[in-house]
């Protein structure tokens, strides 16, 4: 989905987000971080962009469905239009996240705000604003071996670049729909897990072909596994066959026809009705 062969990191800011309810502070950096080392840049690409592989896309929304009032939409639009104010806008994004991090179980962490250029998304080259939060640090060992025969062993804590906790990529496209967005959220399913998607980003799935297909398959699965056994004598094998036929339909057909789907998947006239 993402091709960052020709992508560059144009801007990068890092802030630390504490938990407001627990009395932890918000620490804002005053200057951007310059990334000139090639190896460091490659590691950052691996950390930020490698994990984003899902074909799910989202748009910004708001409580009254007016995405133009969404704070993240406003900040992203300003970043794309006014690159010179990037550091100030990254601070505004950090402040917004700090305000919504109110559940006592939300972990503190480092927030990375990144402006990417020339990022290819499904073949379309765009700029993108990345927002990444690292909530978990891991211990690592370091062996020092000077020129002599003396060795020393130390430990430290740092970010595992292969474990991205939370991410949001806002692509500079579909602005009139609330921008096109990819997300990652590795939280558990507790109430504190909702803040990134629902309170901070405030997003909804894109109304595209992928989402519509996914929703229709979900409806079909719900009916086959829960609704169908209430009305008909059906065993597990028959249910599995129906679910497999529903998947096969979308693999072998370029366009969707409801009647055709019903005949191929359910087959029985009574079930179709």
Per-residue pLDDT of 197-255, as tens digits, reads 889 999 988 776 766 777 777 787 888 788 778 877 888 888 888 788 888 877 888 88
pLDDT value of residue 186? 76
Among 12-16, 50-54, 55-59, which range has the highest average pLDDT?
Answer: 12-16
Closest CA to 4 of 37, 53, 58, 72: 53
3-class SS string, the chain: CEECCCCEEEEEEEEEECCCCCCCCEECCCCCCCCCCHHHHHHHHHHHCCCCCCCCCEEECCCCCCHHHCHHHHHHHHHHHCHHHHHHHHHHHHHHHHHHCCCCCCCCEEEEEEEEEEEEECCEEEEEEEEEEECCCEEEEEEECCCCCCCEEEEEEECCCCCCCEEEEEECCCHHHCCEEEEEECCCCCHHHHHHHHHHHCEEECCCHHHHHHHHHHHHHHHHHHHHHHHCCCCHHHHHHHHHHHHHHHHHCCCCCHHHHHHHHCCCHHHHC
CA angle 217, 219, 221 (to 5 degrees): 70
More confident position, 108 or 192:
108
How far is it, in rounded angstroms, from Cα 273 to Cα 268? 9
pLDDT tier, 75 (very low <50, low <70, confident <90, very high otherwise): very high
Q: What is the pLDDT of residues 82-109, one digit of tens each?
A: 877 999 999 999 999 999 988 898 999 9
pLDDT in tens, 121-169: 988 999 999 999 999 888 989 888 777 678 888 898 989 999 899 999 9
pLDDT at 189: 63
**Average pLDDT of the chain, as a whole number:** 88
Residue 218 confidence (pLDDT): 79
pLDDT at 188 (0 to 100):
58
Collect all residues with Cβ–Cβ distance below 8 Å to 93 and sequence separation of at least 6.
72, 75, 111, 113, 131
Instruction: Look at residue 227 in the predicted model and tell me its pLDDT.
Output: 79
**Token pair of 178 as six digits:** 């609330």
Asked whether the predicted pLDDT for residue 49 surpasses 90, the reply is: yes
């Amino acid at each position: 989905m993402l091709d960052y062969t020709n992508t560059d990191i144009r801007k990068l800011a890092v802030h630390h987000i504490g938990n407001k309810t627990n009395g932890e502070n918000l620490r804002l950096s005053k200057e951007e971080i310059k990334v000139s080392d090639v190896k460091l840049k490659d590691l950052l690409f691996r950390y930020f962009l490698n994990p984003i592989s899902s074909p799910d896309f989202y748009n910004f929304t708001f409580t009254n469905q007016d995405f133009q009032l969404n704070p993240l939409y406003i900040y992203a639009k300003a970043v794309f239009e006014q690159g010179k104010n990037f550091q100030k806008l990254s601070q505004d994004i950090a402040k917004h996240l700090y305000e919504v991090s109110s559940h006592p179980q939300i972990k503190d962490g480092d927030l990375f705000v990144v402006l990417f250029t020339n990022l290819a998304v499904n073949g379309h080259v765009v700029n993108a604003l990345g927002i990444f939060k690292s909530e978990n640090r891991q211990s690592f060992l370091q062996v020092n071996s000077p020129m002599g025969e003396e060795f020393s062993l130390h430990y430290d804590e740092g970010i595992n670049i292969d474990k991205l906790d939370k991410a949001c990529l806002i692509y500079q496209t579909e602005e009139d729909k609330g921008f096109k967005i990819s997300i990652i959220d590795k939280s558990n399913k507790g109430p504190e897990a909702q803040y990134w998607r629902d309170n901070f980003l405030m997003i909804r799935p894109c109304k595209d072909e992928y989402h519509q297909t996914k929703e229709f398959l979900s409806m079909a699965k719900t009916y086959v596994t829960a609704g169908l056994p209430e009305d008909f004598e059906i065993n597990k094998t028959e249910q599995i066959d129906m679910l497999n036929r529903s998947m096969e339909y979308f693999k072998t057909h370029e366009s969707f026809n409801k009647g055709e789907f019903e005949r191929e998947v359910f087959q029985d006239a009574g079930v179709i009705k």
